[in-house]
Structure 1
Amino acid sequence: MVIFDCDGVLVGGEHLSNALMAEEARKYGWPLSDEEAARIFSGGELAKIGERIAEHTGKKLPADWGLMMQKRIATMMKTEAETIDGAEKMLQDVKNLGLPIAVGSNSSGEEMEAKFSSTGLDEIIPADAIHSARDLNVPKPRPDVYLHAAANEGVKPENCIVLEDSDPGAEAARKAGMACVLLRPLDEPAPEWPGLLRISHLDQFVPLLKKIMAEQKAHETTKAS
């Protein structure tokens, strides 16, 4: 089974969310640029971002700040979400390999519905295969959303591979006992974890899957003989 993160892997637009977080930080007295917000907040959970803004500024944010931001992001993504280059073809190619697919993200279910419907990915990804760590209230780097996705499909964690772009997401996959492929330019730093694979573009993912599947088949053949 293949489980995908959403933002930065299938759908672009995290820069828009980070810009919104930068705007909120500045509103409460933290003079962050959009670039600084992207570095500090990328892959983070809204509640934790709100806590960090409050801690840094000494200001008390509204009790429903996270919910308000979630609604604003979902509304924004209905019109501004963009598919990551190659995502649609890659998803279809994975399905053509006969592998079930799922999504596990820190985004809310509402956000992902907006992102996938506006990009057309909802025609490829089954609605019941989309899982939100935020809605489960167990954000990455906790592994719960990935374990939940695997259990929903009836697949053991060790038979899952996760495609991620963030360190917290890769850590969640590692804690779940799943293989992980990190989508990130090869000249950028990454965790040095045993078994962590890397690609720099989505068009490299399916060939990597085919290689892994061929190696597994060869291993099983050798073991049987």
Structure 2
Amino acid sequence: MPCSDGKISLVIFDCDGVLIDGERQSTDLMAQEARKYGWDLTDDQAHRIFTGGELAKIGELIGQKTGQDIPADWDMMMQNRIVEMMKTDAETVDGAEAMLESVIQLGLPIRVGSNSSGAEMDAKFQNTGLDEVLEKERIHSGRDLDMPKPRPDIYLHAAQAEGVAPAECIVLEDSDAGVEAARRAGMACVLLRAPDKPAPEWPGLFRIAHLSEFPPLLETLMDQQQAA
């Protein structure tokens, strides 16, 4: 497992579900769209199916399930609606600000790697005040770079921008697609998920139930590396 007995040089955060509590609002919006085209699924079902997904792929899936022609620019229309919604409705995940400050105090560089667009993350971070903590040039969009998870490219891009090896990075994720992206990138990964929820079967995958558990875990790993 990368980082478990090696150097930690960079912490990379997913956005939705890790820093910003906006995933549910977005998938509810997609559920409305799916029902409009004739796919009878609930908001809860949409949340399970669409979380962590790429908008273009979600549009394709709705078309496949309903047999309807989805507009070619459906993903851009949805993106614009999500951005407008997040300008007023975005909220932080419980404990996000304190967790970020604690990680920074440990002396670890931080970056964000998300499937969200740059415009969407700008809206989310500005509305919640996280733009005071997260520097714009350290925020990377898988959508804008055409590197959506579960491809590893967005995380490899963040490591390259920092000038560190993938094996020296640790990722905090909440989605299966994000965990798979970290695995493919050769990075350690911590999954933020309630203990009663299923998780990917990846030996060595770290797991926490609340963001407050993340800085102590990092401290433990850093202590292990110093003792090695």
- The code of the aligned residue for 1:90 comes to M
Alpha-carbon shift at residue 2 of structure 1 (Å): 0.2
Unaligned runs of 5+ in 1: 220-225
Residues 163-202 of structure 1: pairs in structure 2 closer than 5 A: 163-202=172-211
1:37 corresponds in structure 2 to: 46
The higher-RCO structure (CA 8 Å, 6+ apart) is 2
CA distance, structure 2, for counterparts of residue 189 and residue 64 of structure 1 = 34
Alpha-carbon shift at residue 136 of structure 1 (Å): 1.1
1:53 corresponds in structure 2 to: 62
Residue from 42, 63, 70 that aligns with 2:79? 70
Residue from 165, 175, 198 that aligns with 1:156? 165
CA distance, structure 1, for counterparts of residue 198 and residue 72 of structure 2 = 36
What per-residue deviation string (whole Å, max 9, x for no partner) do you get for residues 122-164 of structure 1?
0001100100111111210000000001111111101000000
SS at match of 1:104: strand
CA distance, structure 2, for counterparts of residue 157 and residue 96 of structure 1 = 22
Q: Name the TM-score, length of structure 1 as normaliser.
A: 0.96
SS at match of 1:43: coil
Higher helix share: 1
SS at match of 2:207: strand
CA distance, structure 1, for counterparts of residue 221 and residue 48 of structure 2 = 32
Does structure 1 residue 142 correspond to structure 2 residue 138?
A: no
What per-residue deviation string (whole Å, max 9, x for no partner) do you get for residues 112-131 of structure 1?
00000000000001100100
- The code of the aligned residue for 1:207 comes to P
1:13 corresponds in structure 2 to: 22
Alpha-carbon shift at residue 32 of structure 1 (Å): 1.4
What per-residue deviation string (whole Å, max 9, x for no partner) do you get for residues 74-125 of structure 1?
0000000000010001001111111100000011111000000000000001
1:210 corresponds in structure 2 to: 219
SS at match of 1:147: helix
SS at match of 2:144: helix
Q: How many residues align structurally?
A: 219
- The code of the aligned residue for 1:18 comes to T
1:223 corresponds in structure 2 to: none
- The code of the aligned residue for 2:160 comes to A
Give the share of equivalent positions with the same residue, in percent: 68
Alpha-carbon shift at residue 40 of structure 1 (Å): 0.9
Q: Name the TM-score, length of structure 2 as normaliser.
A: 0.95
- The code of the aligned residue for 1:138 comes to M
- The code of the aligned residue for 1:61 comes to I
Alpha-carbon shift at residue 187 of structure 1 (Å): 1.4
CA distance, structure 2, for counterparts of residue 36 and residue 192 of structure 1 = 22
1:27 corresponds in structure 2 to: 36
Residue from 102, 107, 125 that aligns with 1:98? 107
